[in-house]
Structure 1
Amino acid sequence: MKLVAVTSCPTGIAHTYMAAEALEQAAIAAGHEIHVETQGAAGAEALNPVDIAEADAVIFAADVDVRDKERFAGKPTVSGPVKRGINNAAAMVEEAVAMAEAAPAPKIAASVAPMTAAAPRLGPGAKLRLWLMTGVSYMLPFVAAGGILIALAFVIGGAEVNQKVYGGEFEGVTYEAIANPTDILTQAGIAGVLMYLGATAFGMLVPILAGYIAFGMADRMGIAPGVVGGLVAVAIGAGFLGGLVAGLLAGAVVMALKLIKPGQALQGIMRIVVIPLVGVFVVGFIMLVVVGKPIAAAQDGMTDWLAGLSGANAILLGLLLGAMMGFDLGGPVNKVAYLFGVGALASGDLTIMAAVMAAGMVPPLGMALASVVRPKRFTPGERQAGKAAWLLGASFITEGAIPFAAADPLRVIPSTVIGGAVAGAVSMAFEATLRAPHGGIWVIGLIGNWGGFLVALLAGTAATCIAVLALKSVARSEAAAEADEHVLAI
């Protein structure tokens, strides 16, 4: 059989490429030919149209909307989350082969577009998750770029750099806002430029989130209403919650408008003028007049509650967020905790971002340490993955623990949850702060109370290591037992 596949995940860093490798290995092992397109952070190298035309079946292992999906129309299609591509690649290949044998795909010339599609049906929950993760995927580059630029601005220009650019009072000194952005370099230096650019990128988080949630629902025509709805959400103080509502609302409005089928002569005008015009007005009007105030009130209430957390309550919050970071290792639960930290960072609370990053670094570091302390408890492949996990964990790439979780989820996932919870709680107890939304150990210069942060990181790593080794000792996994038998046989 000739197969083609597309893999993608919200961050486009680890899951995307791990799923691609797993599918390639599974297909080759089964005697099939496969070509995989990874729609990841480094961009996508598109599949050759000839390979698509000659393919017997298509596999989508994706947590975000697959771009240019119409290329595969008419082909038997197997679809699932990216984790299925990592953990059950062989099953996806078998399913694709079975579908191809049951309903052979026509071999269509690469220059001829198929007229019918055979896209898999998703349930309401799966669709909602796909739409939200699409918005998150497009938003994350703005988070990383904007957050790190702002953090560098504080490092270079001091704590008052924000007031120097935007005006305000700092330690008894009043600064006037710089009216003309082209004067920032001369009046506030390079730190002021970094602050302005970072704040501009951060200011696009909610509009981009909303725009690409709508894009995931209604394709390109959803972007304009979604972005405008997101801008309105920012303007009225509705924040990330408002962005989510605006994106879903924009997608729903555009999907409804696309159901209108005018004559052929009006189709072009409908797509270029009518749908964007009506979509922007309806979404903007509803956000301004109907749902904006309640959402803004809810956002303010959550912010006030967050600002009031201290002492034991803050430690409990760190414990909860840390557990979420270690639960699905880069999946939706992990992303909810991460975006909560980013939102707190944007509102000026720097302790939550530190707790979230410490907890997110722990799973790969803890598993790497365990594979060194008791190597016989792990397969040769897991021990090899442990070597890479050191760097991945240090770089705040939680997905580095996935190879261990895929092989032994019932023992590894509880261990990473425990380690993440410990790291988050300890970080909050020490009141460590972080001005950057990413970077891992490489942005240690941007961490406040870095000693406390390192203690949290070490405590979480040790907790994960101890927990996983204890669980593997009490109830040995088949993979580890087979590895020991293999070593003894040698």
Structure 2
Amino acid sequence: MEEKQSFFDHLLDGLNKMIPFVVAGGILMALGFAVSGAGAMSYPEEGLGTFGQVIYQIGNKHAMGLMFLIVGGFIAQSVGGSNALLAGMVGGSIASVNGSTFLGAVISGFFAGYLVKYMEKVAIPKSLETVYNILLLPVISTAVVGLVSYYVIGIPVAFIMNSLTSVLESMQGGNLILLCAILGAMMAVDLAGPILRVAYFFGVAAVVANPGVPQVVMAAVIVGGMIPPLGMALASTIQKKKFTQEEQEAGKAAWILGLSLISEGVIPFAIRDPKRVIPACAIGSAVAGAVIAYFNTGTTVVHGGIFILPIPGAVQNPLGYVLAVVIGTVVAAGLALLLKRDVPTEAIEKITEEA
């Protein structure tokens, strides 16, 4: 197995594997609400519920409910190889029931990975290698990770997660506006890099902690990630003389990418003029996040961009969502055009070729 170089590489392995579970689970839960309303959450103890209740249950328990198991397991696998997958999944599963949730799953995953990595280096007599690898290693590693997850990780991390949730829930008015503005800006400053991912998973943690409850910070994160490609798409459409032919073509694709919350659509613009494009987009995203908070616009899903709007119950106050997208896009585009050098397209192309 190729050795990864950083803590962040291992973390991203787990987080990237987790995203489809969160996205699918959140959208299915919203669909369950759309069909059965608040009754979707009341699944009967015996027999099948209504169609809406079943859809909600599939999303909540069988998709989103697996996210901690997945993130713990695949972080462990990234660190310690396939032999660490089981212990990491067990640690993540325990995190889902002892209150340590997302952070607990991450810590358990790293602990499992490094534990198995160490255990594989232990000198074992050749005659016992098969028994050790097939029986002893998985049993011992799973037992140790499980016990540590229950007795060491669970209580303090659950306290931290509950405290963070309480602080988040207590934020109203100006505090919430400032928080959402910061999260929006974080979605735009590093071209879909680690800062964006920190902001994104902060929003995801809020949704996970309160399933089915619209989260303003998640809406701010989603809209903040949409603004950079949309802002540059608008700028390259209304002021073509400031952009090369290649950038103009990238702008056409950026419309769809931005509406779909694929922030990478801004990269063709930012890599050529980062000092102007990135600040413009960050300010536009911050404004969009503030608008989201001002209108108390929340969402129960964690991805989907503009396409979550038609899902009943997915977005609280859809008008605020649309206004945030429009205002943030206009601000980002306007600042980009104000800051960008007004030089002929041919000159920009020549500069690009020389670089």
TM-score range, shorter chain: over 0.9
Give yes or no for contact 1:135–1:211 (8 Å, CA) kept in 2: yes
Identity fraction in percent: 39
Query: 1:349 Cα shift?
Result: 4.5
The unaligned stretches of length 5 or more in structure 1 are: 1-67, 70-118, 166-177
Give yes or no for contact 2:187–2:195 (8 Å, CA) kept in 1: yes
Change (3 A) 1:438 1:480: farther
Residues in 1 aligned to 2:284 and 2:38: alpha-carbon distance in whole angstroms = 33
Give yes or no for contact 1:149–1:198 (8 Å, CA) kept in 2: yes
**Residue in structure 2 matched with residue 470 of structure 1 by the alignment:** 338
Residues in 2 aligned to 1:230 and 1:342: alpha-carbon distance in whole angstroms = 16
1:450 aligns with 2:318: yes
What number of residue pairs does the alignment pair up?
345
Paired AA for residue 364 in structure 1: P
**Residue in structure 2 matched with residue 247 of structure 1 by the alignment:** 109
Paired AA for residue 194 in structure 1: I
Query: 1:473 Cα shift?
Result: 3.1
**Residue in structure 2 matched with residue 153 of structure 1 by the alignment:** 32
- Output aligned runs, 1:14-413, within 5 Å: 69=2, 122=5, 127-162=6-41, 164-165=42-43, 178-180=44-46, 183-184=47-48, 187-188=49-50, 190-200=51-61, 201-346=63-208, 347=210, 348-413=213-278
Give yes or no for contact 1:377–1:484 (8 Å, CA) kept in 2: no
Which of 337, 341, 347 lines up with 1:481 in the alignment?
A: 347
Paired AA for residue 191 in structure 1: G
Give the TM-score taking structure 2 as reference length: 0.92
Give yes or no for contact 1:232–1:287 (8 Å, CA) kept in 2: yes
Query: 1:357 Cα shift?
Result: 1.0
Equivalent position SS for 1:197: helix
Paired AA for residue 139 in structure 1: M
Q: CA RMSD in A?
A: 2.0
Residues in 1 aligned to 2:298 and 2:346: alpha-carbon distance in whole angstroms = 39
Residues in 2 aligned to 1:208 and 1:267: alpha-carbon distance in whole angstroms = 28
Structure 1 consecutive aligned stretches of length 4 or more whose deviation exceeds 6 Å: none
Question: Which of the two has greater helix per residue?
Answer: 2
1:328-351 CA-partner distances (Å, limit 9, x unpaired): 232221112111111212213522
Residues in 2 aligned to 1:470 and 1:484: alpha-carbon distance in whole angstroms = 22
Give the TM-score taking structure 1 as reference length: 0.67
Residues in 1 aligned to 2:263 and 2:151: alpha-carbon distance in whole angstroms = 41
Equivalent position SS for 2:81: helix
Change (3 A) 1:479 1:339: farther
1:419 aligns with 2:284: yes
Query: 1:485 Cα shift?
Result: 9.4
Which of the pair has the greater relative contact order for Cα pairs under 8 Å at 6+ separation? 2
Paired AA for residue 289 in structure 1: Y
The unaligned stretches of length 5 or more in structure 2 are: none
Equivalent position SS for 1:473: coil
Query: 1:236 Cα shift?
Result: 1.0
Larger radius of gyration: 1
Equivalent position SS for 1:297: helix
